[in-house]
Amino acid sequence: MGSNAEANGNNRMTAEQHRVRRVVIVGGGTAGWMTAAALAQQLGGAGLSITLVESAAIGTVGVGEATIPHIRDFNRALGINEAELMARTSATIKLGIEFRDWGRIGDAYFHPFGAYGEQIGPAGFHHYWFKAKLAGEARDFGSYCYPIVSARNGRFRPPPSARSGLLAFNYAFQFDASLYGAFLADFAQARGVERKEGKITDVIADGASGFIAGVRLESGEEVTGDLFVDCSGFRGLLIEQQLKTGFEDWSRWLPCNRAWAVPCAIQDPAGPYTRATARTGGWQWRIPLQHRIGNGHVYCDSYAGDRCIMSPTSATTRPSGATCAKWNGPTA
Protein backbone atom coordinates (compact mmCIF):
# COMPACT_ATOMS: atom_id res chain seq x y z
CA MET A 1 0.00 0.00 0.00
CA GLY A 2 2.79 2.35 0.92
CA SER A 3 4.68 1.48 -2.23
CA ASN A 4 1.64 2.30 -4.40
CA ALA A 5 1.15 5.63 -2.68
CA GLU A 6 4.82 6.43 -3.06
CA ALA A 7 4.72 5.49 -6.77
CA ASN A 8 1.64 7.64 -7.34
CA GLY A 9 3.34 10.53 -5.61
CA ASN A 10 6.42 10.12 -7.78
CA ASN A 11 4.24 10.01 -10.92
CA ARG A 12 2.51 13.24 -9.91
CA MET A 13 5.88 14.85 -9.24
CA THR A 14 7.18 13.73 -12.64
CA ALA A 15 4.06 15.02 -14.41
CA GLU A 16 4.38 18.34 -12.60
CA GLN A 17 8.03 18.62 -13.58
CA HIS A 18 7.17 18.07 -17.25
CA ARG A 19 4.17 20.39 -17.28
CA VAL A 20 4.41 23.06 -19.97
CA ARG A 21 4.26 26.48 -18.37
CA ARG A 22 6.26 28.59 -20.85
CA VAL A 23 5.80 28.52 -24.62
CA VAL A 24 8.30 30.34 -26.83
CA ILE A 25 7.39 31.02 -30.46
CA VAL A 26 10.37 31.82 -32.68
CA GLY A 27 9.39 34.03 -35.61
CA GLY A 28 6.45 36.32 -36.23
CA GLY A 29 4.67 36.86 -39.51
CA THR A 30 1.40 35.12 -40.23
CA ALA A 31 2.50 31.70 -38.94
CA GLY A 32 3.91 33.01 -35.67
CA TRP A 33 1.00 35.24 -34.79
CA MET A 34 -1.60 32.65 -35.81
CA THR A 35 0.11 30.26 -33.37
CA ALA A 36 0.26 32.89 -30.62
CA ALA A 37 -3.36 33.95 -31.11
CA ALA A 38 -4.66 30.37 -31.06
CA LEU A 39 -2.72 29.43 -27.92
CA ALA A 40 -3.75 32.61 -26.13
CA GLN A 41 -7.41 32.14 -27.00
CA GLN A 42 -7.63 28.43 -26.23
CA LEU A 43 -5.22 28.15 -23.28
CA GLY A 44 -5.04 31.68 -21.94
CA GLY A 45 -6.77 30.78 -18.70
CA ALA A 46 -4.49 27.83 -17.95
CA GLY A 47 -1.65 29.86 -16.49
CA LEU A 48 0.43 29.51 -19.64
CA SER A 49 3.14 32.05 -20.43
CA ILE A 50 3.45 32.71 -24.18
CA THR A 51 6.37 34.67 -25.63
CA LEU A 52 6.94 35.44 -29.31
CA VAL A 53 10.40 36.46 -30.46
CA GLU A 54 10.76 38.33 -33.76
CA SER A 55 12.93 40.95 -35.36
CA ALA A 56 11.68 43.80 -37.50
CA ALA A 57 15.00 43.59 -39.36
CA ILE A 58 14.10 40.14 -40.71
CA GLY A 59 11.47 40.29 -43.43
CA THR A 60 8.69 37.77 -44.02
CA VAL A 61 7.82 36.06 -47.30
CA GLY A 62 4.29 37.45 -47.08
CA VAL A 63 2.84 35.96 -50.27
CA GLY A 64 0.09 33.86 -48.68
CA GLU A 65 -2.74 36.19 -49.57
CA ALA A 66 -5.31 33.70 -50.88
CA THR A 67 -6.91 31.33 -48.38
CA ILE A 68 -9.38 28.45 -48.44
CA PRO A 69 -12.58 28.14 -46.35
CA HIS A 70 -10.76 26.52 -43.41
CA ILE A 71 -9.47 29.98 -42.50
CA ARG A 72 -13.02 30.83 -41.44
CA ASP A 73 -12.99 27.91 -39.00
CA PHE A 74 -9.75 29.25 -37.51
CA ASN A 75 -11.10 32.78 -37.23
CA ARG A 76 -14.36 31.51 -35.75
CA ALA A 77 -12.45 29.56 -33.09
CA LEU A 78 -10.79 32.83 -32.08
CA GLY A 79 -14.11 34.68 -32.05
CA ILE A 80 -12.95 37.11 -34.76
CA ASN A 81 -15.58 39.32 -36.36
CA GLU A 82 -15.36 38.92 -40.15
CA ALA A 83 -16.34 42.52 -40.90
CA GLU A 84 -13.55 43.80 -38.64
CA LEU A 85 -11.09 41.33 -40.17
CA MET A 86 -11.88 42.50 -43.71
CA ALA A 87 -11.54 46.16 -42.74
CA ARG A 88 -8.19 45.63 -40.98
CA THR A 89 -6.60 43.45 -43.68
CA SER A 90 -7.96 44.99 -46.93
CA ALA A 91 -9.62 41.63 -47.54
CA THR A 92 -11.92 40.57 -50.34
CA ILE A 93 -14.22 37.58 -50.64
CA LYS A 94 -13.00 34.45 -52.39
CA LEU A 95 -15.59 32.08 -53.85
CA GLY A 96 -13.13 29.77 -55.59
CA ILE A 97 -10.15 29.54 -57.93
CA GLU A 98 -10.12 29.98 -61.69
CA PHE A 99 -7.52 27.83 -63.47
CA ARG A 100 -6.54 29.09 -66.93
CA ASP A 101 -4.57 27.29 -69.67
CA TRP A 102 -3.78 24.20 -67.58
CA GLY A 103 -5.10 21.61 -70.02
CA ARG A 104 -4.33 23.62 -73.15
CA ILE A 105 -4.17 27.31 -74.06
CA GLY A 106 -7.67 28.76 -73.88
CA ASP A 107 -8.99 26.28 -71.32
CA ALA A 108 -10.58 27.56 -68.14
CA TYR A 109 -11.88 25.68 -65.12
CA PHE A 110 -13.40 27.23 -62.00
CA HIS A 111 -13.02 25.34 -58.73
CA PRO A 112 -15.86 26.59 -56.51
CA PHE A 113 -16.27 26.45 -52.76
CA GLY A 114 -19.69 24.85 -53.17
CA ALA A 115 -21.67 22.07 -54.79
CA TYR A 116 -23.15 21.77 -58.28
CA GLY A 117 -26.92 21.45 -58.30
CA GLU A 118 -28.94 19.54 -55.75
CA GLN A 119 -29.25 15.87 -55.00
CA ILE A 120 -32.14 14.40 -56.98
CA GLY A 121 -33.20 11.02 -55.68
CA PRO A 122 -30.49 8.35 -55.39
CA ALA A 123 -28.23 9.71 -58.18
CA GLY A 124 -25.87 12.64 -58.14
CA PHE A 125 -26.85 15.87 -59.87
CA HIS A 126 -24.20 15.44 -62.56
CA HIS A 127 -25.93 12.31 -63.89
CA TYR A 128 -29.13 14.25 -64.56
CA TRP A 129 -27.15 17.15 -66.03
CA PHE A 130 -25.33 14.84 -68.45
CA LYS A 131 -28.60 13.28 -69.61
CA ALA A 132 -30.09 16.74 -70.17
CA LYS A 133 -26.96 17.86 -72.03
CA LEU A 134 -27.19 14.92 -74.42
CA ALA A 135 -30.78 16.00 -75.10
CA GLY A 136 -29.68 19.58 -75.71
CA GLU A 137 -31.59 20.85 -72.68
CA ALA A 138 -28.79 21.81 -70.24
CA ARG A 139 -26.75 24.94 -69.81
CA ASP A 140 -23.03 24.72 -69.00
CA PHE A 141 -22.30 22.88 -65.78
CA GLY A 142 -21.11 25.99 -63.92
CA SER A 143 -24.52 27.62 -64.34
CA TYR A 144 -25.82 25.26 -61.66
CA CYS A 145 -23.26 26.25 -59.03
CA TYR A 146 -24.05 29.28 -56.87
CA PRO A 147 -20.42 30.37 -56.21
CA ILE A 148 -19.55 30.17 -59.92
CA VAL A 149 -22.58 32.21 -60.99
CA SER A 150 -21.83 34.78 -58.27
CA ALA A 151 -18.15 34.98 -59.27
CA ARG A 152 -18.99 35.43 -62.95
CA ASN A 153 -21.21 38.36 -62.05
CA GLY A 154 -18.88 39.85 -59.45
CA ARG A 155 -21.47 39.43 -56.70
CA PHE A 156 -21.56 37.96 -53.21
CA ARG A 157 -24.00 37.39 -50.41
CA PRO A 158 -23.42 35.35 -47.24
CA PRO A 159 -24.42 31.67 -47.50
CA PRO A 160 -28.14 31.22 -46.83
CA SER A 161 -29.64 29.15 -44.08
CA ALA A 162 -30.82 25.64 -44.84
CA ARG A 163 -34.43 26.86 -44.69
CA SER A 164 -34.00 29.43 -47.47
CA GLY A 165 -34.20 26.86 -50.25
CA LEU A 166 -30.95 28.12 -51.80
CA LEU A 167 -27.89 25.93 -52.16
CA ALA A 168 -25.40 26.10 -49.33
CA PHE A 169 -21.84 27.12 -50.16
CA ASN A 170 -18.69 28.32 -48.46
CA TYR A 171 -16.20 31.11 -49.02
CA ALA A 172 -12.76 32.28 -47.97
CA PHE A 173 -10.77 35.52 -47.95
CA GLN A 174 -8.04 37.14 -49.97
CA PHE A 175 -6.12 39.45 -47.66
CA ASP A 176 -2.85 41.29 -47.20
CA ALA A 177 -0.77 38.73 -45.31
CA SER A 178 1.29 41.33 -43.48
CA LEU A 179 -1.87 43.12 -42.31
CA TYR A 180 -3.37 39.82 -41.17
CA GLY A 181 -0.23 39.14 -39.12
CA ALA A 182 -0.44 42.61 -37.56
CA PHE A 183 -4.15 42.11 -36.81
CA LEU A 184 -3.44 38.83 -35.02
CA ALA A 185 -0.47 40.40 -33.19
CA ASP A 186 -2.84 42.95 -31.65
CA PHE A 187 -5.32 40.17 -30.86
CA ALA A 188 -2.71 37.97 -29.20
CA GLN A 189 -0.99 40.71 -27.20
CA ALA A 190 -4.35 41.89 -25.89
CA ARG A 191 -4.71 38.38 -24.44
CA GLY A 192 -1.37 38.32 -22.67
CA VAL A 193 1.15 37.22 -25.29
CA GLU A 194 4.52 38.92 -24.77
CA ARG A 195 6.41 40.10 -27.84
CA LYS A 196 10.20 40.33 -27.67
CA GLU A 197 12.02 42.26 -30.37
CA GLY A 198 15.46 41.05 -31.32
CA LYS A 199 17.57 38.80 -33.51
CA ILE A 200 18.37 35.34 -32.19
CA THR A 201 22.12 34.78 -32.21
CA ASP A 202 22.34 31.47 -30.38
CA VAL A 203 20.19 28.49 -29.39
CA ILE A 204 20.70 27.18 -25.86
CA ALA A 205 20.60 23.38 -25.57
CA ASP A 206 19.98 21.36 -22.43
CA GLY A 207 23.22 19.67 -21.43
CA ALA A 208 21.58 16.37 -20.50
CA SER A 209 18.95 15.83 -23.21
CA GLY A 210 20.30 17.99 -26.03
CA PHE A 211 16.83 19.49 -26.45
CA ILE A 212 16.31 23.23 -26.74
CA ALA A 213 16.16 25.08 -23.43
CA GLY A 214 16.18 28.67 -24.69
CA VAL A 215 17.38 31.21 -27.22
CA ARG A 216 19.83 34.08 -26.80
CA LEU A 217 19.15 37.45 -28.42
CA GLU A 218 21.59 39.90 -29.94
CA SER A 219 21.18 42.05 -26.81
CA GLY A 220 22.42 39.16 -24.65
CA GLU A 221 18.99 38.46 -23.16
CA GLU A 222 18.03 34.80 -22.82
CA VAL A 223 14.47 33.58 -23.40
CA THR A 224 13.82 30.16 -21.88
CA GLY A 225 10.80 27.90 -22.16
CA ASP A 226 9.31 24.42 -21.87
CA LEU A 227 7.87 24.22 -25.40
CA PHE A 228 9.26 25.89 -28.52
CA VAL A 229 7.39 26.48 -31.78
CA ASP A 230 9.56 27.17 -34.82
CA CYS A 231 7.87 29.75 -37.05
CA SER A 232 11.12 31.01 -38.54
CA GLY A 233 10.07 29.97 -42.04
CA PHE A 234 12.48 28.52 -44.58
CA ARG A 235 15.43 28.97 -42.21
CA GLY A 236 14.09 26.39 -39.74
CA LEU A 237 16.20 28.02 -37.03
CA LEU A 238 15.25 25.49 -34.34
CA ILE A 239 13.76 22.45 -36.03
CA GLU A 240 16.47 22.17 -38.69
CA GLN A 241 19.53 24.31 -37.99
CA GLN A 242 19.71 23.31 -34.33
CA LEU A 243 18.00 19.92 -34.10
CA LYS A 244 18.86 18.62 -37.60
CA THR A 245 15.42 17.07 -37.96
CA GLY A 246 15.88 16.56 -41.68
CA PHE A 247 14.04 17.72 -44.78
CA GLU A 248 12.06 15.41 -47.09
CA ASP A 249 12.50 16.68 -50.63
CA TRP A 250 9.39 16.42 -52.85
CA SER A 251 10.96 17.99 -55.95
CA ARG A 252 10.47 14.76 -57.87
CA TRP A 253 6.70 15.30 -57.74
CA LEU A 254 6.51 19.08 -57.22
CA PRO A 255 9.42 20.56 -59.19
CA CYS A 256 8.59 24.27 -58.75
CA ASN A 257 11.28 25.69 -56.47
CA ARG A 258 11.32 29.45 -57.04
CA ALA A 259 8.79 32.25 -56.75
CA TRP A 260 8.53 35.99 -56.96
CA ALA A 261 5.71 38.30 -55.93
CA VAL A 262 4.89 41.81 -57.07
CA PRO A 263 1.79 43.96 -56.47
CA CYS A 264 0.14 46.26 -58.98
CA ALA A 265 -2.63 48.83 -58.97
CA ILE A 266 -6.23 47.81 -59.64
CA GLN A 267 -7.00 48.60 -63.29
CA ASP A 268 -10.24 46.72 -63.89
CA PRO A 269 -12.96 45.40 -61.58
CA ALA A 270 -11.75 42.11 -60.12
CA GLY A 271 -14.09 39.25 -59.32
CA PRO A 272 -14.35 37.47 -55.96
CA TYR A 273 -11.89 34.70 -56.80
CA THR A 274 -8.21 33.88 -57.25
CA ARG A 275 -6.82 33.20 -60.73
CA ALA A 276 -4.06 30.65 -61.40
CA THR A 277 -2.67 30.68 -64.96
CA ALA A 278 -0.33 28.00 -66.28
CA ARG A 279 2.97 29.25 -67.70
CA THR A 280 6.00 27.64 -69.37
CA GLY A 281 7.79 26.11 -66.36
CA GLY A 282 5.32 27.10 -63.67
CA TRP A 283 2.21 29.11 -63.00
CA GLN A 284 1.12 32.64 -62.15
CA TRP A 285 -1.31 33.86 -59.51
CA ARG A 286 -3.57 36.91 -59.45
CA ILE A 287 -5.20 37.85 -56.16
CA PRO A 288 -7.45 40.93 -55.92
CA LEU A 289 -7.44 42.87 -52.64
CA GLN A 290 -9.26 46.06 -51.72
CA HIS A 291 -6.24 48.28 -52.34
CA ARG A 292 -4.14 46.39 -54.92
CA ILE A 293 -3.73 43.24 -56.98
CA GLY A 294 -1.28 40.61 -55.74
CA ASN A 295 0.65 38.91 -58.55
CA GLY A 296 3.33 36.29 -58.56
CA HIS A 297 5.08 33.58 -60.52
CA VAL A 298 5.94 30.13 -59.19
CA TYR A 299 8.28 28.14 -61.40
CA CYS A 300 11.03 25.54 -61.69
CA ASP A 301 14.41 27.05 -62.53
CA SER A 302 15.41 23.86 -64.37
CA TYR A 303 12.74 24.59 -66.98
CA ALA A 304 12.10 28.33 -66.96
CA GLY A 305 15.25 29.89 -65.55
CA ASP A 306 15.54 33.28 -63.92
CA ARG A 307 14.84 35.06 -67.20
CA CYS A 308 11.17 34.63 -66.26
CA ILE A 309 11.41 36.95 -63.29
CA MET A 310 11.73 40.71 -63.13
CA SER A 311 14.95 40.66 -61.11
CA PRO A 312 17.05 37.67 -59.96
CA THR A 313 17.21 39.15 -56.47
CA SER A 314 13.42 39.25 -56.13
CA ALA A 315 12.97 35.48 -56.20
CA THR A 316 12.46 33.23 -53.20
CA THR A 317 14.18 29.86 -53.49
CA ARG A 318 12.74 26.82 -51.74
CA PRO A 319 12.44 23.18 -52.86
CA SER A 320 9.09 21.50 -52.35
CA GLY A 321 8.94 19.25 -49.31
CA ALA A 322 8.47 19.07 -45.57
CA THR A 323 10.45 18.49 -42.40
CA CYS A 324 10.86 14.80 -41.60
CA ALA A 325 9.12 15.27 -38.25
CA LYS A 326 6.81 17.96 -36.94
CA TRP A 327 7.93 17.34 -33.34
CA ASN A 328 11.47 17.00 -32.06
CA GLY A 329 11.61 16.90 -28.29
CA PRO A 330 9.89 20.02 -26.95
CA THR A 331 10.05 21.75 -30.33
CA ALA A 332 7.35 21.90 -33.01
Q: Among candidates 86, 112, 285, which has minimal Cα distance to 183?
A: 86
What are the sequence ranges of the domains in the chain?
A: 21-90+175-247, 114-169
Which of the residues 94, 133, 199, 326 is marked catalytic? 94
Strands 227-230 and 22-26, how do they pair? parallel
- pLDDT tens digit at each of 332 positions of the chain: 445 545 444 444 455 666 889 999 999 999 999 999 999 999 987 889 999 999 988 766 555 589 999 999 999 999 999 999 999 999 999 999 999 999 999 999 999 999 898 878 888 899 999 999 999 999 999 999 999 999 999 988 887 665 555 557 899 999 999 999 999 999 999 999 999 999 999 999 988 888 899 999 999 999 999 999 999 988 888 988 888 888 888 989 999 888 888 888 888 877 899 999 999 889 999 999 999 999 989 988 888 755 555 554 455 677 788 887 788 876 67
CATH 3.90.120.10 fits 21-90+175-247, yes or no: no
- The H-or-E segment that residue 126 falls in is helix 125-134
For the question of residue 326 being annotated catalytic, the response is no
Give the list of residues 6+ apart from residue 47 with CB closer than 8 angstroms, or none. 21
pTM of structure: 0.85
Give the list of residues 6+ apart from residue 326 with CB closer than 8 angstroms, or none. 332
